[in-house]
Amino acid sequence: MSDVPHRDPTDERVVLAKLLSTNAEFLAEVLRPAEGKPVPSVLAALRAARSLDGVVDDVLRSLVRQARDEGRTWAEIGEIFGTSRQAAFQRFGGAGAGFPIPPVPPIPPMPEMPRMPMPEMPPMPEPPDWSKMPGMPKLPGMPNMPWPFRGHEHHGPGPHGPDQHGHRHPGPMGPAAGRDPHGDEPGE
């Protein structure tokens, strides 16, 4: 059963012929205006050509549908357009062109799943005690933190001053942080 109403090919051809001749005359007037009339814009000519193109496409679809109703194959139709039968069907076939698409076959029933209990999940492992892991910091005491986790508390009283053992540590700017910027620099 098709939802598309069946049209009388003779009536359809008369309507399409009238549309085609009207659009072709309009395009001819736009492209070659009568003497004394102003030349229309290029966009007007483009609109007229596009309108004619739409009517020609409707004519082609109608004629293809009539050819199929006569029993012509997609291969024969494709040969006229210089293309394959698949390309002809993609362009002119399907439900949009008035050809019913066959219904999708029913999906076979799914086999019943075996009735068995779900497996027991093993218990989740306990999270490790990070304070007992080697190399990890002892919180809240900061002095025992390994190197990458140390902060500025190891620099001593000032950013570049000596620590509690009398060692000077470079500040965050590196060893040159405390130098005079205009002093002896290589290359001067």
Q: pLDDT tens-digit profile of 63-111? A: 898 898 899 999 999 999 999 988 888 888 865 655 566 677 788 888 8
Q: What is the pLDDT of residue 170?
A: 55
Query: Tokens at residue 185, please?
Result: 């620099």
Judged by DSSP in three states, 162 sits in: strand
Q: Mind listing the pLDDT tens digit for each residue in 114-142?
A: 888 888 888 888 877 777 777 776 666 55
Give the residue among 103, 72, 75 at the shortest CA–CA distance from 88.
75
Q: Which residue has the tokens 């051809």?
A: 13
Query: Which one is predicted more confidently, 152 or 64?
Result: 64
Query: Tokens at residue 153, please?
Result: 């508390």
Cβ atoms of 93 and 102 within 8 Å: the answer is: no
Residues, the chain, total? 188
pTM for the predicted model, two decimal places: 0.44
Q: What is the pLDDT of residue 78?
A: 92
Query: Tokens at residue 111, please?
Result: 């086999």
Residue 68: CB atoms within 10 Å: 19
